[in-house]
Amino acid sequence: MADRGLARRLADVLPGRGDAVRAPELRTDEGRSASRLELFFDLAFVLVVAELAIALREDVTWHGFAVFAGLFATVWWSWVSSTLYANRFDHDDVVYRLYKLGSMAAVVGLAASASEATGKRFAAFAVCHVLLRLMLLLQYHRAHRHVPHARPLTRLYLAGAAAGAVLWAVSLVVPRPAAFALWAAAVLVEALVPLLATRSSADVPLHVEHLPERFALFVILVLGEPVAGVAHGLYDADWSGSALPVAVLAFVLAAALWWSYFDLAGARAKRLLGEAGESNSAYSHDVYVFGHLPLTLALASVGAGVELAVVEAAAGEVPAGTRLLVAGGVAAYLVSASLTASAMTGDARRGWYWPVAAAAIALLDVLLELPAVVVVGALAALAVAVVVAGSLQRSVGGLATEEV
């Protein structure tokens, strides 16, 4: 009844737009690309990732990285939750837009509190996550009412979002260490839902054309961090002569990482996803989605480290933590790409020499305390080699990919 009442009121406000309010429907049987609203929505996540990177640069320790990784995971999952709903039910009417914009406002709140989420902005960060779950509950409730054959699936997502909202809300009134455990529990409970959906009898497939485009856009969002890091680092270093070569090599590294994802790792994963099809029994969907968490976390870590490396190179000494952040991030990115491909193909024998080489560079850096220009230069050379070798392999038919 509430939906119908809202529909009548909006129809009055928007005369001549008979399709302004429409019932949700499945969007899995047509060609699709990311909507303008989805692109607008992603802008808020750019802000959150940037704020988390700022906090990491201020505390380059194992504790600082653990906090960064944990908060990044909560934000990444909020983006994924919204994306999975839109992948199936985005029909772009006024009600959907209002819910999406409401979610975007909550993400802006996450950005405004992310750098101090474990401190004085703790409550604001948690409340924004509660609001995101409430927006998602309203959307799935609407889909549940209007798409009868999707109800087995929407019930799962309603239960997951409700449990997540409760856990985030309860975290506001318990002591901090326990509150952080509730945050982790909330994400884990909600992350179980797509896994259960894969194994359920509900025939409500994901849209395998739209999904990789959305994840590729999130990768672009995260890759903005190393590019911004080069610019901010050069500015803060006042274009110092010692900072300039590190900045140039860091840009080459960022460009090669972009190239390797969109022409190779991401393109191969998209091809494998398409081969798996839209069947809910295709576990490749789960591997594809969850494989992007360590991959994007690694790229965000590289971005945070790059800015520090450029600035600190100007000061004459780059701490081991900064160098390891960059080298470890590149190694983790390559490991994530290899693991995802191996899990999707069932073949774990190929493609491990690149992550092993990156890990070797990180280890040598720890043992020998190499200058930043050497570490970043070696990583840039390795990333370029990945692109060249992968492109040659693809050209002779040894690597099947699909344009992302």
For residue range 3-27, list pLDDT tens digits in order. Answer: 555 445 544 444 434 468 888 887 7
State the average pLDDT over residues 183-212. 87
pLDDT above 90 coverage of the chain, percent: 66
- Whole-prediction pTM value? 0.92
Residue 140 near residue 194, CB atoms below 8 Å: no
What's the mean per-residue pLDDT of the chain? 89
Contacts of 171 (CB under 8 A, 6+ apart): 126, 178, 179, 180, 182, 183, 186
State the average pLDDT over residues 301-318. 92
Q: How far apart are CA 299 and CA 303, in angstroms?
A: 6
Q: How far apart are CA 381 and CA 394, in angstroms?
A: 20
Q: What is the full DSSP assignment across 162-192?
A: HHHHHHHHHGGGS-HHHHHHHHHHHHHHHHH
Summarised one tens digit per residue, pLDDT across range 53-105 is 999 999 999 999 999 999 999 999 999 999 999 999 988 899 999 999 999 99
Residue 313 near residue 261, CB atoms below 8 Å: no
**DSSP class of residue 317?**
-
Q: Is the pLDDT of residue 1 over 70?
A: no
Count of beta carbons in the 10 Å neighbourhood of residue 363: 14
Residue 154 near residue 202, CB atoms below 8 Å: no
Q: Is the pLDDT of residue 29 over 70?
A: no
Q: Is the pLDDT of residue 34 over 60?
A: yes
Residue 299 near residue 348, CB atoms below 8 Å: no
Q: Is the pLDDT of residue 278 over 80?
A: no
**DSSP class of residue 3?**
H
pLDDT band at residue 275, thresholds of 50, 70 and 90?
A: confident
Q: Is the pLDDT of residue 328 over 70?
A: yes
Instruction: Name which residue leads in pLDDT, 362 or 49.
Output: 49
Summarised one tens digit per residue, pLDDT across range 123-146 is 999 999 999 999 999 999 999 999
Q: Which two tokens stand for residue 94?
A: 């006024």
Phi/psi at 165 (5° precision): -60, -40
Q: Is the pLDDT of residue 36 over 50?
A: yes
